[in-house]
Amino acid sequence: MATSEVQTVNTGADKAKLVGAAALLLGSFVAFYLLSGKGPIAQWVALLVGVAAAVAVFGVSEAGKQLVAFGRDAWRETKKVVWPARKEAIQMTAYVFAFVFVMALFLWLTDKTIEWVFYDLILGWRK
């Protein structure tokens, strides 16, 4: 049985940061709708400032730091990928299309054979 380590927020300060980030995010949406009478510029400024503040608070939390580290690791791994050349990509795409065509033909023939066996030979419904 494989066990996976679940990491949770450990400190009260870190929990407070996450709650604060969620409150800032919610507050920015509330401000956006409450400022509907002030014009779209005030609405969008309030929304963007609130979201930026929420992202900043989340970024200084442990979960935010782990998310940034994960993103950096993922980007580093993506750079290690050896992408196929154009010719190889076209060949592999052609192989996939050919396989799909052959498989579709096989399934169609199998379906028609079973249909013929059951309906014509066994049941005699198509006479």
Domains of the chain, residue spans: 11-81, 84-127
- CB-CB neighbours of 17 under 10 Å: 20
pLDDT at 104: 98
Q: For 8-34, what is the mean pLDDT?
A: 89
Measured CA to CA in angstroms, residue 52 lies from 19, 22, 35, 66, 70 at distances of 15, 12, 18, 19, 20
Spatial CB neighbours of 111, under 8 Å, sequence gap ≥ 6: none
pLDDT at 84: 93
pLDDT at 3: 60
pLDDT at 121: 84
Secondary structure of residue 2 in the 3-state scheme: coil
Mean pLDDT of the chain: 91
Asked whether residue 5 carries a pLDDT value surpassing 90, the answer given is no
- CB-CB neighbours of 116 under 10 Å: 12
- CB-CB neighbours of 79 under 10 Å: 7
Asked whether residue 99 carries a pLDDT value surpassing 60, the answer given is yes
Confidence of residue 47 (pLDDT cuts 50, 70, 90): very high
Distance CA 121, CA 124 (A): 6
Confidence of residue 4 (pLDDT cuts 50, 70, 90): low
Positive/negative CA dihedral, 66, 72, 76, 78: positive
Closest CA to 60 of 12, 127, 13: 13
Q: For 62-74, what is the mean pLDDT?
A: 94
- DSSP structural state of residue 116: I
Can you give the pTM of this predicted structure? Answer: 0.56
pLDDT at 98: 98
Asked whether residue 88 carries a pLDDT value surpassing 90, the answer given is yes
